[in-house]
């Protein structure tokens, strides 16, 4: 590979020994005509180098808003970060001026989106868009930048990269476009990659290929990956730890094996039971009944109580407990986690 030997400006307060990402008690609200929606309501999680942290939950629970807040690309207004910290190697990104934030976004924490077509610019070739990154952020010559673009397309296993570098986004299939997105995200060698439902728009075979590619690149680069998904099936093979979100909160946090062996929150359990299983062919899926609540109109008590088969009076009256320690390495926000874990 061409040497990318340009040093980044030092970030004041950067601690190389601190974790690549720590989100602490993050609060994001949307001020809308229908009232205030607490889209992210005290979310905390961390990410080690080389680790995959899955953020899992049904649509509307605050996953993308969390990612947008980390990237500093929240739609403001109506969205506002109203509290918490987002630490990159000990530096609180929320306190950085926008000029510094932009550098972090380009070089250190990158993101790929569900919809690759709308994330790429339709009027420029894929090669031009990749080369621009190197020209702008690394000061490379046109020729070097193009060579580097071809290397990157090779890296994400796009066949005939040397020719395809001159094609426009619409000339690529959905899966190949998502590979281009990955190439763009990895171009400047970030330490953290946030992938927001990166395979949702693709068919199942292509999904598996893209996930395998992401996992491979992540390992090669010892990069931290935040994998956002609503699909519990996707995370089983690739995630190390999982944060399950519901209505703007993390309601369970654990290692992937613990979650699969014995979920401790009724919502996680419901998500698990709704994965189609080949060994139980013909058996009815017990998907969770009902829909997540509107964030401007949460039910009283625990936000999940109307859909919960474990719910008691306390769950309808009192707010859900904050995350309770289930074991040294896992937490769940449910009074009845013992019952939930126990009755397999």
Q: Which of 26, 37, 194, 308 binds ligand ADP (CB under 6 A)?
A: 37
The three-point CA angle 198-202-203 to 5° equals 140
Query: Least Å distance between CB 247 and ligand ADP?
Result: 9
Asked whether position 262 contacts Mg ion by CB under 5 A, the answer is no
Which residues are CB-neighbours of 220 under 8 A, at least 6 positions away?
none
Number of helices and strands in the chain (H, E): 13, 12
Asked whether position 50 contacts ligand ADP by CB under 6 A, the answer is no
Asked whether position 129 contacts Mg ion by CB under 5 A, the answer is no
Euclidean distance between CA atoms 85 and 25, whole angstroms: 7
Asked whether position 78 contacts ligand ADP by CB under 6 A, the answer is yes
Count of residues interacting with ligand ADP (CB under 6 A): 16
Q: Which does 20 bind (CB under 5 to 8 A by kind): Mg ion, ligand ADP, none?
A: none
CB 86 within 8 A of CB 70: yes
The three-point CA angle 190-191-197 to 5° equals 80
Q: Which is nearer to ligand ADP, 41 or 262 (CB)?
A: 41
Handedness of CA 46, 20, 61, 28 (dihedral sign): positive
Q: How many CB atoms lie within 10 A of CB 77?
A: 9
Asked whether position 267 contacts ligand ADP by CB under 6 A, the answer is no
Q: Which does 65 bind (CB under 5 to 8 A by kind): ligand ADP, Mg ion, none?
A: ligand ADP
The three-point CA angle 22-321-239 to 5° equals 40
Q: Which of 15, 75, 220, 318 binds ligand ADP (CB under 6 A)?
A: 75
Count of residues interacting with Mg ion (CB under 5 A): 2
Asked whether position 134 contacts ligand ADP by CB under 6 A, the answer is no
Euclidean distance between CA atoms 165 and 143, whole angstroms: 13
CB 193 within 8 A of CB 218: yes
Q: Which of 295, 302, 333, 340 binds ligand ADP (CB under 6 A)?
A: 295
Q: Which is nearer to Mg ion, 218 or 229 (CB)?
A: 229
Asked whether position 199 contacts Mg ion by CB under 5 A, the answer is no
Residues contributing to the site for Mg ion (CB under 5 A): 63-64
- Residues near ligand ADP (CB under 6 A) are 30, 32, 37, 39, 57, 59-65, 75, 78-79, 295
């Amino acid at each position: 590979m061409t040497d990318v030997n340009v040093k980044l400006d030092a970030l004041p307060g950067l601690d190389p020994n601190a974790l690549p990402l720590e989100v602490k008690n993050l609060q994001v609200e949307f001020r809308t005509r229908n009232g205030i929606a607490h889209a992210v309501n005290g979310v905390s999680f961390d990410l080690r180098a080389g680790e995959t942290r899955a953020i899992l939950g049904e649509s509307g629970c605050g996953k993308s808003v969390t990612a947008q807040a980390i990237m500093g690309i929240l739609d403001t207004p109506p969205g506002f970060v109203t509290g918490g910290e987002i630490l990159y190697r000990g530096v609180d990104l929320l306190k950085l001026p926008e000029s510094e934030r932009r550098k972090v976004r380009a070089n250190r924490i990158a993101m790929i989106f569900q919809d690759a077509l709308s994330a790429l610019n339709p009027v420029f070739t894929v090669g031009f868009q990749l080369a621009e990154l190197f020209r702008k952020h690394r000061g490379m010559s046109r020729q070097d930048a193009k060579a580097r673009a071809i290397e990157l397309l090779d890296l994400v296993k796009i066949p005939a990269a040397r020719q395809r570098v001159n094609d426009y986004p619409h000339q690529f299939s959905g899966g190949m476009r998502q590979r281009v997105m990955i190439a763009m995200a990895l171009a400047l060698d970030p330490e953290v990659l946030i992938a927001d439902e990166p395979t949702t728009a693709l068919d199942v075979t292509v999904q598996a290929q893209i996930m395998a590619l992401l996992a491979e690149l992540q390992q090669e680069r010892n990069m931290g990956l935040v994998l956002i998904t609503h699909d519990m099936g996707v995370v089983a093979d690739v995630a190390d730890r999982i944060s399950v979100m519901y209505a703007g909160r993390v309601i369970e946090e654990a290692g992937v094996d613990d979650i699969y062996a014995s979920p401790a929150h009724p919502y996680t359990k419901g998500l698990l039971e709704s994965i189609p299983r080949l060994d139980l062919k013909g058996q009815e899926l017990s998907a969770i009944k009902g829909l997540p609540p509107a964030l401007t109109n949460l039910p009283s008590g625990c936000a999940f109580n109307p859909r919960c088969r474990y719910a008691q009076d306390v769950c309808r009256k009192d707010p859900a407990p904050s995350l309770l320690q289930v074991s040294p390495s896992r937490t769940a926000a449910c009074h009845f986690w013992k019952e939930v874990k126990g009755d397999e």
